[in-house]
A and B are shown apart, each in its own frame.
Chain A
Amino acid sequence: GENVEQHPSTLSVQEGDSAVIKCTYSDSASNYFPWYKQELGKGPQLIIDIRSNVGEKKDQRIAVTLNKTAKHFSLHITETQPEDSAVYFCAASLSSNTGKLIFGQGTTLQVKP
């Protein structure tokens, strides 16, 4: 069935270091992979996404890579700042016709000043 595994569940880094969160999906028909950041008491905020016809995408300090063969994708945050501290969720969507995002279990990122 459809499943997204996310690791690690918690991640603590020093300010300025890089953080990497990894996700693996089960359904090879998945073609859209967004990443969300959720701060305490708020809804998830879309921070970056990638589609299956692209291997890598970058937006300032955030980058996402996709390996379709291995069915995994990763979020890379460089030069981390305390305001990056939040819960990060990866997700996968089968296609545009399901409307359904399958979410990973989340990674709590703590950036220590």
Chain B
Amino acid sequence: EAGVTQSPTHLIKTRGQQATLRCSPISGHTSVYWYQQALGLGLQFLLWYDEGEERNRGNFPPRFSGRQFPNYSSELNVNALELEDSALYLCASSSYIGAAYNEQFFGPGTRLTVL
């Protein structure tokens, strides 16, 4: 069974530009989560999408946004890029069984570099 996939692997942008990152969840998973892993700051929760809707959002400015498509894949958009947005962006997915969401499985990440 294929795991969570993310594209591109690396992305280089300049300050002020926009970046689009993509994620495909594990087959059968309906929830997608985005995390930022910046150097020295650990993993920070960004966004949670389930069934096409945004369910929760972390403490990030509105220029971080995204969406989830009918096939449950997702994209993360970062507008007006700043130098401090340079980080590894990780996508995770989980299934929903009964009243509980399950374990989050991570993809390999997209390394975003802002020059």
Contacts and interface: CB of A to CB of B under 8 A. Distances in A.
Given A89-B43, A104-B42, A99 B48 contact: yes
Nearest to A44: B106
Contacts, number: 53
Interface residues of A, number: 21
Interface stretch (B14-22, B65-73, B77-85, B96-104): B96-104
Contact of A43 (B50, B100, B108): B108
A36 interface: yes
20 contacts: A34-B103, A43-B4, A43-B90, A43-B106, A43-B108, A43-B109, A44-B43, A44-B106, A45-B106, A46-B105, A91-B43, A96-B99, A99-B45, A99-B55, A99-B101, A100-B48, A100-B58, A101-B35, A101-B43, A101-B45
Given A34-B103, A43-B107, 16 more contacts: A41-B108, A42-B108, A43-B109, A44-B106, A98-B56, A99-B31, A99-B33, A99-B45, A100-B56, A100-B58, A101-B35, A101-B45, A101-B104, A103-B42, A103-B43, A106-B42
